[in-house]
Each structure stands twice: as C-alpha cells, then as structure tokens.
A and B are shown apart, each in its own frame.
Chain A
Amino acid sequence: MQKVKKIPWLITVVIFAFLLVFTAFSSKKDFLHGEKNIFQKQEAIKKFGFYLDAVNQQAGIDFHHYSPQLDPKLKHIEPQIASMGASVSVVDFDQDGWDDLYFTNSRQGSQNALYRNLHNGKFENVAEQVGLADLNDSVTGVSMGAVWGDYDNDGYPDVLIYKWGKPELFHNDHGKRFVNVTDSSGLPQWVNANCAIWFDFNNDGLLDLFIGGYYSEKLNLFHTSTTRVMPESFRYANNGGRKYLLMNMGNGKFKDVTAQYELNSTRWVLGAAAVDVNGDGYPDLFIADDYNVNELYINDHGKRFIEVGRQAGIGNIPKSGMCVSLGDILDDGKIGIYNTTITENGILLQDNNYWYPESGSTSPYPHFVNMAKLAGIDNAGWSYGAQFGDLDNDGYQDLYVANGFISGKKNTSYWYDYSKITSGNKAIIEDARNWPDMKGKSQSGYEHDKVWLNRGDGTFEDISNMIMPDVTYDGRAVAMADLWNRGVLDVIVANQNNIPLILKNDLQLHRHWIEFDLKGTVSNADAAGAEVLLEWDGKKQIQVITDGCGFSSQNSHRLHFGLGNRTQVDQVIIKWPSGKTTTLVHPQIDKLHVIREPE
C-alpha cells in the first residue's frame, strides 16, 4: 500500500481540478462570448465597408435545385448519396462583355438554367431556347456540374455537362445556340462525376479535359442491381470512379489517354484544379479526394503525370477532400491551394487545409505546408466549395466557403448512425443495405457559410454572421464574378435542394481595382493556365486563369485585383501557357483590360 504525501497530493488535486475546468470551458467559448453577433446591413457597411446582399428576386433568378431520385434500393439513404449536383459556373457565353450564370439541376425531369445578363441588374433564363435546359433523365443521367471551355478556339466558350450519367459536350454556336456534339466527341459513355476541368496539359493550344469519377462508372444509381455502391473505407477507399484524361485531338474529338498519362487511381474525386506548382510551364493537377488522401500530379512536360502527393506533403493524412481553390493570401506572388474538408465538433475534426508552397525544398518536387490553422481558415463545418477573391478591394484576397451537408428535420442528427457504419469493416460499410435509414435526419445541416476577411497579415477574421443574410442552406458550389461590371466581386452560391444565393456586393469603400480578360492566340483561346502577377505598393499578387476549380464551379474568366487606396500599379507580368510573356507598366486602374496574347 503506497502512502500519499498530503501537500503534493493537494497540489496535484488543484492542478487536476484546474485542467478539468479549463477543458470543460475550452469548448464553450461561444457560451462565454454570448450569442452570435448577427449584424444588420448598415452595421456591416459601417464596420467593414461592404455587405453581401441576396438579390435573387431583383436579379430575376428564380432557379431551384432538386436532388436526384435514386433506385428504390438506395432510398433509405438517398439524401446521403444524392447530396450533390448543385453547381454554378460563370461564363460570358455570348461574349457581350457581361458575365452570365449557368446552374445545373439534378432531379430527373428538372431543368438546368442559363441566366443571360441583361446589363440592367437583371438576368433572363435562356437555357431552353439555346438548348441547355432539358438534360436530366434516368436514361442519360442527371447533371452534377458544368464547365466551360473554348475547345475549338473559335472565341466562344463551349460547355461540358458532367453527370451521374453520360457526359455531354455542347458546341457554342456564336452565343446563339448550343449543339450537342457528344456522340462524335469520343467522350466516355457513363461517368458518375462530380468534377471536371478544362486545361491544356500538353500546351498544344487546345483545351483538354479532366473528368474525375466519384461513384464507380460501372454503377447506374437510378437502376442498380447491387447495393455495394458505398466507399469501402472512410479513410482509404479506392473503389470510387476512375479518372478520365481526354486529349483534345483538334478535330472535335477527344482521345482517352488516362492510362498512358498514368492517372490510374480510382479514388472518390470531388475537386480538381490545374496550376503550375513547379514553375516548369506545364499545368499540374491537384485533386481533392473524398475518403482518402489528396493527390498531386506533376506534369512531366506534357508527356505523363507523376503522383507526388506524399512527397509534396499534401497526401499524408486522409481527409474528406471536397474542393480545390487557388489563392495568394499573403500577396507574395505564391499560389496556395485551399482544400475543404469536414469538421463536426466532437465527432470529426479534419479542418480545411491551405497548402502554402514551401521554398528551399531539396526535393525534386514542390513541398507544401498547411497554414490554414495559422491563418484562421481551418474550421468551417461540412464544407464544399470555396473561392478566394478580394471582396473589399483592399488588395488582399478574402475567402468564401460554402457549408452544410444535409438539413433534414431540425434537432435530429444522423452522425451517430454514420459513425456506427463508417467504423465498420469494408464488407459492412460498402453495402448500402447496412447503412441505417436516415428517416429524414439532418447531418451537419443548417450550417452558415463562412466569409473570412483577410487582415493583410496572413490571418483572417470570421465575419460570416455579419456580412451576409443569416441563411443556412446546404451550400455546394461557390463562384465569384464582377456580375454588374462595377469593379467589385460578387458571390454566387449554388445550394443543394434549394435556391442559389446571388450575393451582390454592396461595397461602399472607394478603393481601386483592376481587371484582366486574357485572350490566347498561340495558347488556348481561354488562356487557361495563364498567370497574372500584379505588382503594386510593395506587394505582388498572383492569380491564375482556370476553366473550373473549387467544387462543381467555375469563376469568371476575368481576373479581379483589388488595389486598396493606391492609384498606381507598378507592373503586370502575364505568363501565357505558350511560354510567352507580356509586361504592362503602369496600366490604367479602375478598368478592365482585355489583353491579347502576342503572336
């Protein structure tokens, strides 16, 4: 029997009690700080100088997304499986100098919507008249997203609709109508895809396609003979869909070169972005995988892709990768990669990543460090899409993250059921029959989207409850665009099973800005992959033109830079995919510059 020394024991008890109290209160910070601070618009403008106003009605956007209806064998967890499909892409489809919006719908019989910008604050849905509305049925599948790219370099962006079904390619006939050219294009017959991007991986001046499969392409979720459709593991699933790398042959046809280029994994892809991370002039591919680690494919001079996720530091910890977006948050001319995941307090703490390129790496491959926690942009919720953009034109990129998984019955949660099944062995988890009936329960539902304001020192302030209406839709895709050509970035959010949010930025600070619209000539016409480095006020910010990034989204083709109160830009260096460079010295500010690649 060991004797206890009284004084040391008492000291131990005091420390122990302190630790118990500390830990108990550490998770109750909100309780200590009182109710969340919901601002009215005028208060927000006074404090931050801007407010994101929901203007759906004024803009004439009456779109509503509906989730797909699945095979009856999957009905008991239909909200879980059919939880995606709300997408938004920004495109100037008629090349009138005003950005338009395209939303996908996902229920059989529902219609997609193409909102043409009427230049007066309003939009008009022209999807039906141009042939982009009626694309959702059980035979060809339902839309999950759309990505625009001028694959034939005729000056008008064409569109790929990726589906849980047959991907469909539409050629843009001078902004008047869209012609379905799928059958002659060589696209795969069926892909259960939630991600696709256009990029020119071999820099031949023709946009190629990447499509990332989510559910296996062998499955038809509307008429399935098997219930073995779910991931085999929560952290190491390799039974997702295959990837497709489709090389543009220049004659309207695409060749499947996936195996040749070594993109052979079958993980559950939710997001991808093409960006040159090693500075060799070829776009590399960052892929966000659900139920597994992310992948980084280095482009070996257009000849093959080499997966280096682990060596690069981004592929070590399996998280639920949901999106990939690009931003230079420090104004140091380095592109970081933001990758959303899932956080549900007490159950799953993954935290979103901001992968910042590390300099001085001795490895032959680039290396990244996760700076999300340091920057304060780690904990969002069940996140999907995210985009960077300078919302207050102060010269620093802010961040918008869409949140919320399934908003079912209030005060219910499927998380217990979910944790039960996802801890099980492969044989149990992958069979949908074993998944408990959702019975209309919520799972990470009713979450508010996050708006993080860049303080300019590498850290962000969470202003979510102050800067926009207090709505808690299940956010999916986020895109940013200067919708009304005001020199201000607006935000568009596609919400699952709900209306989108058209958030018009009421910026009342008289700050400066500059925008660029690049036209490739030797490079692909979209100039996808072009980098624009803006130098001013001792800062340098880099942005990249992407044809698709985030989650099921596409930003405006124009690049927007806030300049703060500075009235002069030192210079702008444009690096075209062809390797050519354009330098602009002291370009005029508060203006959109349309720059054509030198031939």
Chain B
Amino acid sequence: MLFESLNKSIRGNKLFQRIPTFSLLPEFLKRNFTYVPPAFITLLLLIGQLSFGILDSYVNLIVAVATAIMTEWLLSYFVLGIRKNLASAYISGISVGILIRSTMIWPYIITSMLSIMSKYVFRYRGRHIWNPSNFGVSWMLFMAPMDVAGLSIQWGSNFLALVVIWILGLIIVNRAKRMHVTIAYVISFIILAYVRSIITGDTFQAEVAPLTGPMYQLFIFFMITDPATTVSTRKGRIIVAILIACVEFFLRLNSFIYAPFYALFIVGPIARFIDLTIHQPEPAFVRSA
C-alpha cells in the first residue's frame, strides 16, 4: 500500500514529467518500490546521526540490522518455504538499533531475533499480529532492564533537523495512507496530556514534552503506522490509535517510562486479532509439514 501510493504520487508530479531523467524515476521506483521505505528510514537515521549523533555506536546498529535480515531470511525460507523480501526486516533492525540502548552487543542481537521471530511464532490466520520491533523492544525494556534501556532522551536542540525529520516522517505516513493514524494518535496524546497535567499538577508542557523527542518520532511514523500490523479499515485504525493513546495515558499515570511501546504491545495484537477474525477468512490449511 505504501509503495503504490508513493509511486502514484511521484508519477503525478509535473516536475518528474518534464525532466526526462526524472521521468524514468517512477518506472525505476515501480520496479524497485520495495526499497523506498527502507531508503526513507535510512535517510532519517542519517539526518539524526549527522545532526545529533543519535547512535552511540555504528556497530550496534549494523549488528541489529544484520541479525534482523539474517533471521528473516532463514525463517522465511525454512518456516514458510519462500524467499521473502528483506526490506521490512531491514526496517525492524534499524528500529531496534535506534530504540534500544545497551553497553553490550548481545541485546541488539537478541532483540532483533525476538522481533523477527515473533512474526513467525505468533500467527493468526496466516498473518503475524505484533509489530515485530514493538514486540522485541517492549519485551527487552520490560524484562531485561539491567541490560537494556530505551531511547527516552532528547536527540538535541537542532531545530532545523527536527523539522526535517517531521516533514520526512509526515511524507512517509501520507504516502502510506496512514496519516490519519498519526494524526489520531497525536491529537489523542495532546488531549490526554492536558488531562494528565490536571491530574498530576505538572505543567502541560511537561506532559506533552515526550512528543517532541525522538522516541515518539519513530513511534508515530514507523511503528503504529506499520501497514502489516494495522487493522484493515480507516475507521478501525483511528479507533485503535485512540485506544493506544488511552492505554498509554493510564500507563503514564503509573509512571511507565516506555508507555507508548507497552500500549501498542497490548492494544496492537488484540485489535489485529479482532480485525483478522472479522475480515480475514480462515485458511483451509494453515500449517503443513
């Protein structure tokens, strides 16, 4: 869905039609469209790294990405008997590499493995139900706090780079036709931040502050909008986004630092399960030797 909409948009652009070299681009993208989202997240990563130095280590990122790709490659072949495109594994690997922080290498390996493996272990009606990196990251943050922390701190104060990240992110979700998910979540978050500020007595700015940080930028642009794990109707997706914000609201009132991940971890698979039950016909034969 993301690829088709991006393709249409690029082909429809007059600039691309006027310039011969650019006019070949839509065709190129059409043939290689799978690689556009990974290219976007890589660009975001580069901007974040060059502007703020968001990565503590390139090695950790490379290990996370390589593990995710390798796990996907192996499991798709041995479990599903197919050669799966590795673009989504690449995105999962990058998300893991950015979102978790550890002073050791092994948490990056295991988080990437858990993320990708969850796609193959938790399946319903032939589809996976958890956002892969959300599963891996949430599990590690909750269960392995002595080994892993999350990206809950500010990237930096370079305002221009922040604007670029938001613009790029919004372009991506717009092309993926998931802008409504991002907007529904952000509006819900802001309203609930105001309610929290009344309850806790903290300022509204304090409650809304996390939204301006990098953890949320990745969360709202790449995690809750993931086409593979969102529900099938627009209305349903908006409801789910609001529900995630609501669950997060209660988790925040109970001082969960990684509340958005945990909220998606809880709401996402339930919503997906219900959606698949309603909209996805039960396969005649799901498992075979």
Contact = CB atoms under 8 A, between A and B. Distances in A.
Interface of A: 1-9, 12-13, 15-16, 19-20, 22-24, 26-27, 29, 232-237, 316-318, 345-351, 373, 378, 413, 415-417, 419-426, 428-429, 431, 433-437
Nearest to B106: A26
Contacts of B140: 23
B205 A27 contact: no
A20 B212 CA distance: 32
Contact of A416 (B78, B157, B256): B256
Interface string B141-179: 101111111101111110100100000000000000000
Given A19-B110, A236-B156, A4 B144 contact: no
A232 B212 CA distance: 13
B114 A19 contact: yes
B202 to A, nearest CB: 4
A12 B147 contact: no
B195 to A, nearest CB: 15
A235 B153 contact: yes
Given A3-B285, A12-B117, A373-B103, A428 B206 contact: yes
Contacts of B202: 417, 420, 436-437
Interface in B193-241: 200-203, 205-207, 209-210, 212-216
Interface size class of B (residues with CB under 8 A): 35 or more
Given A26-B144, A234-B153, A424-B212, A1 B283 contact: yes
6 contacts: A16-B121, A317-B53, A349-B102, A421-B209, A425-B162, A434-B205
B79 interface: yes
Contact of A235 (B80, B156, B205, B210): B156
Contact of B79 (A8, A22, A235): A8
Contact of B206 (A6, A237, A435): A435
Interface of B: 52-53, 56-57, 75, 78-82, 101-104, 107, 110, 113-114, 117-118, 120-121, 123, 125-126, 139-141, 143-150, 152-157, 159, 162, 200-203, 205-207, 209-210, 212-216, 255-257, 283, 285-289
Point out which of B107, B117, B256 has the most chain A C-beta atoms below 10 A from its C-beta. B117
B110 A434 contact: no
Contacts of A1: 125-126, 283, 286
Point out which of B53, B113, B141, B157 has the most chain A C-beta atoms below 10 A from its C-beta. B157
Given A7-B289, A19-B110, A26-B147, A233 B156 contact: yes
Contacts of A351: 103
Given A4-B288, A7-B289, A433-B203, A27 B209 contact: no
Nearest to A318: B53
Given A23-B143, A345-B149, A423-B154, 9 more contacts: A3-B126, A5-B287, A26-B146, A27-B144, A235-B153, A419-B153, A420-B209, A423-B153, A425-B157
B205 A423 contact: no
Given A27-B145, A235-B154, A436-B200, A423 B215 contact: yes
A30 to B, nearest CB: 9
Nearest to A423: B213
Contact of B117 (A19, A345, A373, A419): A19
A317 B49 CA distance: 12
B281 to A, nearest CB: 9
Contacts of A435: 206
B79 A9 contact: yes
10 cross-chain pairs, A with B, having the tightest CB-CB distances, nearest first: A346-B145, A424-B209, A423-B213, A416-B255, A426-B157, A27-B146, A1-B126, A425-B212, A236-B156, A8-B78
B154 A425 contact: yes
Given A15-B117, A234-B154, A437-B201, A4 B287 contact: yes
A7 B206 CA distance: 51
Given A19-B117, A373-B103, A436 B146 contact: no
Contact of A345 (B146, B155, B255, B287): B146
B214 to A, nearest CB: 8
Contacts of A19: 110, 113-114, 117
Nearest to B197: A436
Contact of A346 (B79, B149, B162, B205): B149
B228 to A, nearest CB: 13
A418 to B, nearest CB: 9
Contact of A424 (B53, B82, B102, B154): B154
B86 to A, nearest CB: 16
B148 A428 contact: no
Contacts of A234: 153-154
A433 B206 CA distance: 9
Contacts of B143: 20, 23-24, 27
A433 B56 CA distance: 30
A103 B121 CA distance: 61
Given A13-B121, A20-B114, A423 B207 contact: no
Given A23-B140, A416-B257, A424-B212, A5 B152 contact: no
Contacts of B104: 373
Given A24-B144, A436-B200, A5 B288 contact: yes
A19 B114 CA distance: 7
Given A1-B126, A1-B283, A2-B82, A347 B149 contact: yes
A422 B79 contact: no
Point out which of A15, A29, A345, A424 has the most chain B C-beta atoms below 10 A from its C-beta. A424
A366 B214 CA distance: 34
Contacts of A8: 75, 78-79
A373 B152 CA distance: 23
Given A12-B121, A422-B154, A434-B203, A3 B114 contact: no
A579 to B, nearest CB: 40
B286 A23 contact: no
A527 B117 CA distance: 62
Given A23-B143, A424-B205, A429 B126 contact: no
Nearest to A424: B209
A2 B84 CA distance: 11
A424 B210 contact: yes
Given A3-B288, A346-B145, A423-B210, A9 B120 contact: yes
A572 B198 CA distance: 68
A428 B147 contact: no
Nearest to B100: A349
Contacts of A346: 141, 145-146, 148-149, 257
A422 B153 contact: yes
B155 A235 contact: yes
Contacts of B150: 347
A429 B209 contact: yes
A433 B200 CA distance: 15
A15 to B, nearest CB: 7
Contacts of A236: 52-53, 155-157
Given A23-B144, A424-B154, A12 B114 contact: no
Contacts of B286: 1, 3-4
Given A19-B110, A29-B146, A425-B162, A233 B157 contact: yes
A493 to B, nearest CB: 26
Point out which of A3, A12, A29 has the most chain B C-beta atoms below 10 A from its C-beta. A3
A371 to B, nearest CB: 13
